[in-house]
Amino acid sequence: MIEIDRIGFAIGKSEILNGVSAQLPRAKMTAIIGPNGAGKSTLLSLIARLIPPASGTIRVGGYDVQQTASDTLARILAVLRQENVIASRLRVRELVGFGRFPHTRGQPDAQDGEKIQWALDLMALSPFADRFLDQLSGGQRQRALIAMILCQDTDYILLDEPLNNLDLFHSRKLMQVLQDMAHRLGKTPVLVIHDINYAAKYADNILAMKQGGVFANGPTQAIFENHLLSDLFDTPIRIHQIDGQPVAMHH
C-alpha cells in the first residue's frame, strides 16, 4: 500500500500541493487523473523520493520514503518520469540492463540476462535491442525506458504518462501487462494517465486530482460518474456503459 499523509509541496511562494492525503491499495492498478497542472507529476515524484516534500509523510509498502536508504527503495519501487533525456550513448539492451542495477550494482549474472531478455520481449524490443537509443523513434525509446523499469522488478511501479508516444497496439499491450502484474503477481502499478478511457478500462482504483489537492479517490466504477468527471475537468462528460465498461464521451 502507498500511504500519502498530508503532503504539502511548494515552489517558491506558489503552493503546488496543499495537504494531499490518500491511500493507494496494494496489488491493484491505480490511475491518477486530472487536468493539466493539477499536481499529478509532482505527487508521483514525491512518492518516488525524487523531490522532498515541504510537509507530510509518504510510506510505500511500509517504508517511509524520506527516511529509507535510496538503494533499499530502488528494490521496492521504480519510477519513470514524464520526460527523460539520456546523455550517455547507450544501446537498448544496456539501458534495460540498468533495471538490474539496484540488485546487482553493475555486476550482472546469467539470471539478470534472462530478466533483461524478458523485459525486452515484453515491450517488443528484441528487434532493436542492439540499436543505440538515439536511433529509435519516440515511442520505441519510451518502450525501452518502460522495459528498464519493468526489469527492475519492483513491487511498486510508478509511471508518469507512460502512454505518451505509444501507438494503440503498444498502449493496450502495456496496460494489459500492468494489469496482469497487479492481479497475478500482486504488484502495484500507479500511472498518471491522460486518456481517461484507458483508466476506465484497466485501472482498479482512481485518484482524481485538481488544483493541488485530491478531488476524489476510490474504485473506478465509483469515480466514473457523469457529474464527478465533468466537474474534475470543467468539461461536459457523459459516461456510457459499453459491454459493461464505463466509457467517457467528451467531444
Partner 1 sequence: MPGRRLLAMAAILLIACAAYLSWGARGDWAFILSFRGTKLAALIVTGTAIAVSTKLFQTISGNRILTPSIMGFDALFVLLETTLLFALGGFGYTMLDSTIRFAVTLVLMTLAAILLFGTLMHGTRRDLHRMILVGIIFGVLFRSLSSLLARMIDPNEYAVLQANLFASFNQIELDLLGVSTVLIAVALFAAWRLRDTLDAMELGREIAINLGIDYDRHVLIVLGIIAVLVSVATALVGPVVFFGLLITSLTYQIMPGFRHRDHLIANGLLAGIVLVAGQTLMERAFHLHTPLSVIIEMLGGLAFLILILRGHTR
Footprint of Mg ion (CB under 5 A): 41
Q: 142, 149, 20: which is closest to 77 by C-alpha? A: 149
Site mask for ligand ADP (CB under 6 A), range 83-122, x = bound: ----------------------------------------
The nearer residue to ligand ADP, 36 or 88, going by C-beta atoms, is: 36
* Phi–psi pair at 240, nearest 5 degrees: -115, 145
**HSE, side-chain direction, 13 A CA sphere, residue 222:** 10
**C-beta closer to ligand ADP: residue 36 or 67:** 36
Task: Decide if residue 36 touches ligand ADP (CB under 6 A).
Answer: yes
Helices 168-185 & 138-151 angle (0-180, nearest 10): 10
From the list Mg ion, ligand ADP, partner 1, none, partner contacted by residue 11 (C-beta under 5 to 8 A by kind): ligand ADP
Q: How many residues bind ligand ADP (CB under 6 A)?
A: 11
- Segment lying near partner 1 (by CB under 8 A), choices 71-79, 114-122, 174-182, 217-225: 71-79
42 binds ligand ADP, rule: CB under 6 A: yes
Among 38, 65, 193, 203, binds ligand ADP (CB under 6 A): 38
Q: How far apart are CA 245 and CA 198, in angstroms?
A: 11
- Candidate segments 33-41, 101-109, 147-155, 166-174, binder of ligand ADP by CB under 6 A: 33-41
Rounded distance between C-alpha atoms, residue 2 and residue 156, angstroms: 9
* Contact between 33 and 198 (Cβ < 8 Å): no
Question: Does 207 sit near ligand ADP (CB under 6 A)?
Answer: no
* SS3 at position 125: coil
Cell of 102: 539496484
Residue 150 CB, nearest distance to partner 1 (Å)? 13
Query: Should residue 249 be labelled a site residue for ligand ADP when binding is judged by CB under 6 A?
Result: no
Residue 172 CB contacts under 8 Å (≥ 6 apart), including other chains: none
The gap from C-alpha 64 to its chain's centroid, in whole angstroms, comes to 19
